Amino acid sequence: MVKQIKSGKDILSPRGLPNIKLVKTKQSEWVLFDGHHSLLSYMIAGRTYLHEVPHFVIEDENGHVNDKEILIFFGFHSTKLNDSNWRKYVINWQAPKERQLCKREQKNMGELLDSISVFYNKNRNYNIVDV
């Protein structure tokens, strides 16, 4: 993906829509619910500002989504959560259903990028740019 971005092509869905979906909370937090790999690739490619990255913002008529509404992004796992503890979890739709809901390890995209960089530095046979 990084090579694609560096060649001037954006990461889009098969329909041509942005792969990155952000939700703005009532507390004005930005929450990334889809497109983590794409956003990491843009960051690695040197795009560090949101306006440099194609994305969707999901909000209601008031300009945000409340905690109870955010639960819908967890799909059928939302019944295991409540409107105050969702921040402690992430969803991995590629995992088997019983392992999709996971405890959050990183607080933000910067921490996630750092953790991936540490992995690639330890495993030199991988090239982070080829991801």
Asked if the structure places residue 14 within a domain, the reply is yes
| Cα-based torsion angle of the residue sequence 70, 74, 75, 81 in order, rounded to the nearest 10 degrees | -90
Asked if the structure places residue 131 within a domain, the reply is no
Asked if the structure places residue 22 within a domain, the reply is yes
Residue with tokens 């982070």: 128
What single-letter amino acid sits at 124? R
Q: What is the mean pLDDT of residues 7-15?
A: 92
CB atoms within 10 A of CB 20: 23
pLDDT digits (tens, 9 = 90+) for 21-66: 999 888 888 888 888 888 988 988 999 898 999 999 988 899 999 8
Average pLDDT, the chain: 85
Number of domains in the chain: 1
The pLDDT assigned to 9 comes to 94
Asked if the structure places residue 35 within a domain, the reply is yes
pLDDT digits (tens, 9 = 90+) for 71-121: 988 999 999 998 778 989 988 888 999 999 999 888 877 888 887 776 666
Is residue 26 a contact partner of residue 66, using CB atoms and an 8 Å limit? yes
For the whole model, what pTM was predicted?
A: 0.75
Asked if the structure places residue 105 within a domain, the reply is yes
The pLDDT assigned to 119 comes to 63
Domain that holds residue 58: 2-122
Given a cut of 80, whether residue 131 has pLDDT beyond it is no
